Chains A and B, each alone.
Chain A
Amino acid sequence: GAVVSQHPSRVICKSGTSVKIECRSLDFQATTMFWYRQFPKKSLMLMATSNEGSKATYEQGVEKDKFLINHASLTLSTLTVTSAHPEDSSFYICSAINRGSAYEQYFGPGTRLTVT
Chain B
Amino acid sequence: QKEVEQNSGPLSVPEGAIASLNCTYSDRGSQSFFWYRQYSGKSPELIMSIYSNGDKEDGRFTAQLNKASQYVSLLIRDSQPSDSATYLCAVNMNSGYSTLTFGKGTMLLVSP
Contact = CB atoms under 8 A, between A and B. Distances in A.
Interface stretch (A43-51, A61-69, A76-84): A43-51
B88 interface: yes
A109 B104 CA distance: 19
A104 B43 contact: no
B43 A93 contact: yes
A104 to B, nearest CB: 6
Contacts of B104: 43
Interface in A72-116: 91, 93, 97, 102-110
B100 interface: yes
Contact of A102 (B36, B49, B88): B49
Contacts of B51: 102
A32 interface: yes
B102 A104 contact: no
A34 interface: yes
A114 to B, nearest CB: 14
A104 B99 contact: no
Contact of B98 (A43, A93, A103, A108): A103
A108 B102 contact: no
Contacts of A103: 32, 92, 98
Given A102-B49, A105-B34, A110 B99 contact: no
A110 B34 CA distance: 20
Contact of B100 (A91, A105, A108, A110): A105
Given A44-B88, A105-B34, A34 B99 contact: yes
Interface of B: 32, 34, 36, 41-46, 49, 51, 88, 90, 92, 98-100, 102-105
Given A32-B98, A91-B41, A105-B46, 19 more contacts: A43-B88, A43-B102, A43-B103, A43-B104, A44-B44, A44-B88, A44-B102, A46-B99, A93-B43, A97-B98, A102-B51, A103-B98, A104-B34, A105-B98, A107-B36, A107-B43, A107-B45, A109-B43, A110-B42
5 contacts: A91-B43, A104-B49, A105-B90, A105-B98, A109-B42
